[in-house]
Structure 1
């Protein structure tokens, strides 16, 4: 595992910018907004599974999703802090099976 200061530098590497650009071209709309039926342009290549200093996971293209900044900053970071997603599906139930409702 790498310390935070070192892996923060990975975001300035040419390989990251290329990977980020490829992700946003492949998926130009925010994944969370699309799930809610809204079309918002994605601006962030988000790590689906937090890399926590694992360089292999950081640069794993299969571990990326496109999100808009509001979804990244509010929903995704909230999920990481709580351990589950609080969004509710069209059926009125939580969309995340890790939600306490299902316990």
Structure 2
């Protein structure tokens, strides 16, 4: 059986080239650069201490805030930083800056803030 990978548009804003990966050959270096600059989850503060704090927060705030505000009862699975901390340790650990979200709501919020889905602020 022959498998054929479906092509999709390059994720670089404004690029209309089709690719099997996230980026076309012209923009593939951008993903690699982003990964290098971003660092690992542990380097960004998401270590054992964070995992414990996250679990405690989810137990205390079990519902997705965005869904709840829309009249839905959906479990929170992610602790989101309301204001992106961008490496600011004080903001990272400030629980007043945390909210419980479900994964889809967190993905939408992050994409909107970071420029995903064609919003234009990604590299």
TM-score w.r.t. length of structure 2: 0.57
- Which runs of 5 or more residues in structure 2 are unaligned? 1-36, 116-123
Please, which of 61, 64, 86 is the counterpart of residue 98 of structure 2? 64
Greater RCO, 1 or 2 (C-alpha within 8 Å, sep 6+): 1
Q: CA RMSD in A?
A: 1.7
Structure 2 Cα separation of the partners of residues 19 and 77 of structure 1: 21
* Matching of residues 22-33 of structure 1 within 5 Å: 22-33=56-67
1:78–1:5 CA distance, 2 compared to 1 (3 A): closer
Higher helix residue share: 1
Residue 86 (structure 1) aligns with: none
Q: Distance in 1 between matches of 2:98 and 2:61?
A: 10
Q: TM-score, normalised by structure 1?
A: 0.67
Correspondent of 2:86 among 48, 52, 69: 52
1:37 aligns with 2:71: yes
How many residue pairs get matched? 77
